[in-house]
Amino acid sequence: MKSLRLLLIVLLGLSGSMIHAQTGECSGTWTDAAEGTFDMGFDYTIVTNGPDVTVSVELLDIKDGLVAFAQTYTPDFAETQMDNTGGQSFSSTFFGLADGSAFNVAIKFAFAGGLATSTIIQYTVGEGCATGSSSDIELPITFEDGGLDYELTDFGGNASQIITDPTDAGNLVVESIKTDAAQTWAGTTVAEVSGFSEPLPFAAGATTMTVRVWSPTSGTPIRLKVEQVGVPTVSVETEATTTMAGDWETLTFNFANQAAGTAALNFANTYNKASIFFNFGTDGATAGSQTYYWDDVTFDGNGGGENMIELPITFEDDEVDYELTDFGGNASQIIVDPTDASNLVVESIKTDAAQTWAGTTVADVSGFSEPLPFAAGATTMTVRVWSPTSGIPIRLKVEQVGVPTVSVETEATTTMAGDWETLTFNFANQAAGT
């Protein structure tokens, strides 16, 4: 009888569900926001059950119409709506994760009138949350440190890995295959989760990065994008074109010249990760599977070196992009001086549709190579001006690139009609209301 009873217990055990012990539990209250803000924040628990990870959260800020989403970054980039478990509590389980692998997630709460998204919570399956959020990924990135996770993340049909340089056995590089199933926008991100150890130090006159690239073809557009970790709306993209086929070259990417249809560089933003897109705009079905290599991601910062916008600005250097930007109904271009064929000037037409405040900006994106050295007793600028009439008020405004609230304006009045004169603008005497 004892033997029969034992047999029944064993059979029941075999037919029942396997029970896994919970491991790697971490919990706490999170208040750091990548988008929006938290007042009290949210409580969270992350725990491993066998190959599965469960994320549970409760928002402490009382909100109407609340829903929650888990935005995973590793092992894949995906947004999942979380199940409501009562009140302001939500939970989601992610299946089939390897013990010891990275699981990185941000929590987004959407509610009536707004949303708030956390920064990324870093978790190791079966072990627990990371003890710190600092990154060891420093620029220049050479991919030589075998003990460092460079957080390479492919998307859109790319397949990347760090390998020995096929042209130099003493060098490590990234191999990125844009497969025949790749999207036009397929690419690879470095520092996807943790970001760089320091944000990119963009500033006026410091807007470039370089990447060593090996491409099978010349004339191939390579796009580079930088953005803020966890805040995909904060980004800037630019492009360079390969000139070599089957050989290494260093491409320079100037973020002062953003790609068409993308956001402009904003010096007030934080940019701390990068993505590279090979043969941007062409899908894998059209180009076929192509293999690229890349290395030495560097913040060069010189914005074009000797071809920067320096004062005095004479408009004589056709290698310099003076970044003339019209607004309010102005139309401007650099032309030959109508009174001196050896001189280049800016022609600005204030059209019949212009606003009262129509004007033109120079160095709109990159700024001047050096900030204006205003000081006590040093507050003036001069501009040579040709006006069709005398007695015309001319306003000059200077400001900080990317921070329009930091500005000062002043005025001078023309005394000549149909001739050149030099006007002096004293910023110690700011225009009324500015």
Q: What percent of the chain has pLDDT over 90?
A: 67
| pLDDT confidence of residue 14 | 38
Q: What angle do CA 234, 296, 184 make, to 5 degrees?
A: 55
Tens-place pLDDT, residues 44-91: 999 999 999 999 999 999 999 999 999 998 888 889 999 999 999 999
Tens-place pLDDT, residues 140-178: 999 999 888 899 999 999 999 999 999 999 999 999 999
| pLDDT confidence of residue 229 | 85
| pLDDT confidence of residue 301 | 67
d(CA 403, CA 277): 30
Please state whether 208 falls in left (phi above 0), alpha (psi between -120 and 50) or beta: beta
| pLDDT confidence of residue 8 | 32
226-235, 297-306, 349-358: which is most confident:
349-358
Residue 132 has pLDDT above 50, yes or no: no
- 3-state SS string for 85-151: EECCEEEEEECCCCCCCEEEEEEEEEECCEEEEECCEEEECCCEECCCCCCCCCCCECCCCCCCCCC
Residue 15 has pLDDT above 80, yes or no: no
Cis geometry, peptide bond prior to residue 75 (ω within 30 degrees of 0): yes
Q: Could you give all domains of the chain from N- to C-terminal order, each with its CATH number?
A: 22-129 (2.60.40.10), 153-299 (2.60.120.260), 325-426 (no CATH)
Contact (Cβ atoms closer than 8 angstroms) between residue 345 and residue 335 = yes
Please state whether 24 falls in left (phi above 0), alpha (psi between -120 and 50) or beta: left
d(CA 193, CA 106): 10
Contact (Cβ atoms closer than 8 angstroms) between residue 384 and residue 396 = no
Question: DSSP assignment, residue 264?
Answer: P
| pLDDT confidence of residue 239 | 95
Residue 133 has pLDDT above 80, yes or no: no
Mean pLDDT of 124-152: 83
**Tokens at residue 113, please?**
């009138």
Contact (Cβ atoms closer than 8 angstroms) between residue 230 and residue 116 = no
Mean pLDDT of 1-14: 36
Residue 17 has pLDDT above 50, yes or no: no
Q: Which residues, 6+ apart, have CB-to-CB distance to 377 below 8 Å?
A: none
| pLDDT confidence of residue 4 | 36
Tens-place pLDDT, residues 371-380: 899 999 999 9
Tens-place pLDDT, residues 388-425: 999 999 999 999 876 778 899 999 999 999 999 999 99
d(CA 395, CA 425): 8
